[in-house]
Amino acid sequence: MTWDNQPPAMPPQPPSPPAPPVPASGWTPAPMPPSWGSAAPVAPTTPDAPIPVTDAWGGAPTPPPDRGTNSSGPRRSNPFLRAVVTLVVVVGLFGLGFGIRSLIDNNKTTVVRSSNASGQVTTTAVTIDPGSEPIAYVAAMVSPSVVQIETGDGVGSGVAYDTDLFITNAHVVGTAQTVTVRDSDGTAVKGQVLGADTGTDIAVVRAAGLQAPPAKLANEKPQVGQIAVAVGSPYGLDQTVTSGIVSAVNRPVPNAKSVVINMIQTDASINPGNSGGALANRNAEIMGINSSIYSQTGENTGIGFAIPISTAKRVADQLAAGKTVARAGLGLSGPSTTPSGSAGAYVQSVTSGGAADKAGIKSGDLIVAVDGVQVGSFDELRGMASGYSPGDKVVVEINRDGKVLNVDVTLGTLK
């Protein structure tokens, strides 16, 4: 609409009434069991079904600005002046477009492949500089690989890691044999649950016919302080992206099965429905599968946990192959804290004929590292086992009577 002719002046409008508040009850996530601490374990996040969003926009629209009247009467347009202005605008837009195109051509672009409803693959150039906009870059690259997983009990997330194969959490699929898998374009198909391991909280779903390219998995271990981007379906809100940092690594977290897993801790917002989704680094590589949160209310408090992708992928490969997941063990026991108060895992007893016994580890030894990774407590040592399989060979560094020894150990099977 143009304003060549002056509209009649509008009377002053009364102020718009304040928008009614959004009911809080609709956004309260399901309560969670008591938060883990010295004794109680962290329970996995329970996926919630989608929750409708209440419209909170209220009040009358703001009227157009009142233009001052001309005492000589209505203002008339000048054809010659209008032609000149139009020519200037066209030339200006042409120059602006040329300048923008030059910037695009001179910058690196990320090519994202997608598919439309007819199945034709299209290519869209996304001009996102990973250096200046790392979160936007990660979101563009990772989101197509993240799906929503729906069961009769609620909604969770999943990550494509191979052709037609998706990693998710065991607590997302529950006891279901089939689930609905929905990709980023909204296409939904039936998926088959190939297997679930409640000990590591990992499950695998096979679903064909989706435009969900396998995500790139990280090879390097995450570092404290690096960027962390979570993608999933909190409260059923698919393709939601949140970001933060890696708050801690090798955080031992016991689950409902009393199995300790050394998790990636992050302050990226993770809520019910994020479970099974991606935690990515700034290179758009998946470094973890979101699994649980620390909370006394059931809501995000800035402390979430993701299963390291090395653990998740190892378990997923076994489940996809129809195998039973076996957990590795050293065959020893010890207290949560060392008698001297020093860091490490104190060996209180050794199982006869077990892996530690065969390697020569003795009661009273202090395990301070495994494969070069420092061990701060016995719980950390237990959590490290989730990253290995029976038969793997590791180097265990121990302190025995003040002497540091390196012992080669072939891991056994945790009974």
Report field, pTM of the whole predicted structure over 0.85: no
Q: Are residues 309 and 367 in the same domain?
A: no
Whose CA is closest to 164, among 186, 192, 199, 129? 192
Separation of alpha carbons 57 and 312, rounded Å: 43
* End-of-domain residue from the set 127, 162, 185: 127
User: Is there a domain that residue 4 lies in?
Assistant: no
User: Is there a domain that residue 156 lies in?
Assistant: no
Give the domain CATH number at 233. 2.40.10.10
Q: What domain range is 123 assigned to?
A: 80-127
Structure tokens at 153: 């009990």
pLDDT at res. 130: 87
Separation of alpha carbons 175 and 177, rounded Å: 7
- φ, ψ of residue 23 to 5 degrees: the values are -60, 130
pLDDT at res. 82: 52
Give the residue numbers annotated as catalytic, written as ranges: 171, 201, 275
Tokens 């891991």 -> residue = 411
Per-residue pLDDT of the chain (415 residues; tens, 9 = 90+): 333 334 444 444 445 444 444 333 333 333 333 333 333 333 444 333 333 333 332 333 333 334 344 444 444 445 554 544 444 333 333 333 333 333 333 333 333 444 444 444 454 555 788 888 999 999 999 999 999 999 999 999 999 999 999 999 999 999 999 999 999 999 999 999 999 999 999 999 999 999 999 999 999 999 999 999 999 999 999 999 999 999 999 999 988 777 889 999 999 999 999 999 999 999 999 999 999 999 888 888 899 999 999 999 999 999 999 999 988 999 999 998 999 999 999 999 999 999 999 999 999 999 999 999 999 999 999 999 888 999 999 999 999 999 999 999 999 998 7
User: Is there a domain that residue 88 lies in?
Assistant: yes
Which 3 state secondary structure label does DSSP give 364? coil
- Inter-residue contact 23 to 58 (CB < 8 Å): no
Structure tokens at 248: 């801690």
Separation of alpha carbons 199 and 254, rounded Å: 10
Structure tokens at 203: 């499950």
User: Is there a domain that residue 109 lies in?
Assistant: yes
Q: Are residues 308 and 335 in the same domain?
A: no
Check the CA dihedral 351-356-357-362 and report its sign.
negative
Whose CA is closest to 9, among 73, 75, 72, 67? 67
User: Is there a domain that residue 200 lies in?
Assistant: no
Q: Are residues 299 and 336 in the same domain?
A: no
Q: Are residues 233 and 295 in the same domain?
A: yes
Could you tell me the CA-to-CA distances from 117 to 102, 125, 131, 149, 163 in Å, in that order?
Answer: 33, 19, 33, 20, 20
- Inter-residue contact 42 to 257 (CB < 8 Å): no
Domain count, the chain: 3
Separation of alpha carbons 377 and 362, rounded Å: 17
β-partners of residue 293 are 304
Q: What is the b/e burial string over 248-262, where b = at least 16 CB atoms within 10 angstroms of the residue's CB?
A: ebbbbbbbeeebbbb
- Number of neighbours of residue 414 by Cβ within 10 angstroms: 18
User: Is there a domain that residue 174 lies in?
Assistant: no
Could you tell me the CA-to-CA distances from 225 to 79, 267, 270, 311, 409 in Å, in that order?
Answer: 62, 10, 17, 21, 32
User: Is there a domain that residue 343 lies in?
Assistant: yes
Give the domain CATH number at 349. 2.30.42.10
- Inter-residue contact 355 to 330 (CB < 8 Å): yes
Whose CA is closest to 361, among 344, 376, 373? 344
Separation of alpha carbons 330 and 384, rounded Å: 11
Helix and strand counts by DSSP (H, E) for the chain: 6, 23
β-partners of residue 229 are 243, 280
* End-of-domain residue from the set 72, 94, 127: 127
pLDDT at res. 125: 56
* End-of-domain residue from the set 127, 158, 183: 127
How many CA atoms are closer than 13 Å to the CA of 317, on its beta-carbon side?
6
User: Is there a domain that residue 154 lies in?
Assistant: no
Q: Are residues 269 and 346 in the same domain?
A: no
- Number of neighbours of residue 415 by Cβ within 10 angstroms: 8
